[in-house]
Amino acid sequence: PPAAHPRPARGGVRAPTRAAIAAGHLRTDRWWVPPATTAAGLFAFVVYSTWRAFADADYYAAPYVSPFYSPCLAQRCRPMHAGPNWDLFGGWWGISPAIIILVFPLGFRLTCYYYRKAYYRAFWAAPPACAVAEPHRTYTGEARFPLVLQNLHRYFFYAALLVAGVLTYDTVLAFRDPRYHWGHMGLGTVVFLVNIVLIWAYTLSCHSCRHIVGGRLKHFSQHPVRYRMWQFIGRLNARHMQLAWASLASVALADLYVYLLASGVFDDPRFF
Ligand code: FES
């Protein structure tokens, strides 16, 4: 007898070897809401961070430095230096210093297991949701160029540790007043504290971190410290998606706060 759903012989989920279902999906819920929300959130962050990264202005308001520009490695950051001089890039560096450093946190997030799922679904519809057919005719996974580069994630993790260390240092410097006297606290200090807690929680909840800490062990009983750390990271890891979004929002808000101070919209309220 003829097939119930005669279909053209082509690739992807329409290939003759796949289940003969004519409909693109059989879901009746609003499955498109999560990928649409993800696309809107990531798009908003990309627009905002691109604008700020290329702005090359308003990234320092004593004693705060924007996390998008830290560590500031170009000589053109000199006016903001109240701490150590880290200008590895001399006067020849003509564009925004944020471009030098953003590649590391950006690479870390772009190759993150959670963000991969998020943007594969939201932007590439590969697939857009569980049990919803994807439009692509072939699937090569992450075994070929360019997606094989996603495997660099574990190395970006090490870079992210360094960046988180620098942002921690910036948060310590935020306990000064605008004249660089220690022992003070403003609203910006609180903004920086919340941001650095979320940055560390997101970084340590990374799947690569979990593997580095607890992977390749045969007997946890012989490695009690690593076992404890692995348990702790496992609990964070269960919240990786939430931490990914919370830290993305907090780093943008910390930058926005510095921008508003530096551009003179308001003064930092100081508690003591
Ligand atoms: Fe998300 Fe490593 S898996 S940061």
CA distances to 29, 44, 47 from 40, in Å = 20, 6, 11
How many angstroms does the Cα of residue 115 sit away from the middle of ligand 1?
8
Nearest ligand 1 atom to the CA of 208 is 2
pLDDT at 119 over 90: yes
Mutate to test the pocket of ligand 1, among 119, 142, 163, 205 (most ligand atoms within 8 A of CB): 205
> Residues of the chain with pLDDT > 70: what percent?
93
Residue 78 banded pLDDT, cuts 50, 70, 90: low
Residue 6 banded pLDDT, cuts 50, 70, 90: very low
pLDDT at 88: 82
Overall average pLDDT of the 234-261 stretch: 98
pLDDT at 80: 63
pLDDT at 5 over 50: no
**What tens digit of pLDDT does each residue of 181-220 get?**
999 999 999 999 999 999 999 999 999 999 999 998 999 9
More confident position, 92 or 50: 50
**What tens digit of pLDDT does each residue of 81-117 get?**
555 567 788 888 888 999 999 999 999 999 999 999 9
**What tens digit of pLDDT does each residue of 19-41 get?**
888 887 889 999 999 999 999 99
What three-state secondary structure class fits 222? helix
Radius of gyration for the chain, computed over Cα atoms and rounded to the nearest angstrom: 23
Q: Which residue has the tokens 């030098």?
A: 100
Contact partners, residue 244, CB within 8 Å, separation at least 6: 109, 112, 114, 115, 118, 202
pLDDT at 3 over 80: no
Please name the residue whose Cα sits nearest to atom 1 of ligand 1. Answer: 112
How many angstroms does the Cα of residue 176 sit away from the middle of ligand 1?
33
pLDDT at 17: 83
**What tens digit of pLDDT does each residue of 145-170 get?**
989 999 999 999 999 999 999 999 99
Q: Which residue has the tokens 């090490």?
A: 158
ipTM of the predicted assembly exceeds 0.95 = yes
Please name the residue whose Cα sits nearest to atom 2 of ligand 1. Answer: 206
> Residues of the chain with pLDDT > 90: what percent?
71
More confident position, 232 or 76: 232
Q: Give the number of other Cβ atoms within 10 Å of residue 45's Cβ.
A: 16
Rank 75-79, 92-96, 119-123 by mean pLDDT and report only the highest: 119-123
What is the rounded CA–CA span in Å between residue 196 and residue 176?
17
Mutate to test the pocket of ligand 1, among 153, 158, 233, 245 (most ligand atoms within 8 A of CB): 153
Overall average pLDDT of the 242-254 stretch: 98
How many angstroms does the Cα of residue 146 sit away from the middle of ligand 1?
19
More confident position, 92 or 45: 45
pLDDT at 248: 98
User: Across all residues in the chain, what is the average pLDDT?
Assistant: 90
Nearest ligand 1 atom to the CA of 207 is 3
How many angstroms does the Cα of residue 169 sit away from the middle of ligand 1?
23
How many angstroms does the Cα of residue 83 sit away from the middle of ligand 1?
31
How many angstroms does the Cα of residue 230 sit away from the middle of ligand 1?
15
Overall average pLDDT of the 252-258 stretch: 98
Mutate to test the pocket of ligand 1, among 119, 210, 237, 240 (most ligand atoms within 8 A of CB): 240
Cβ(244)–Cβ(41) under 8 Å? Answer: no
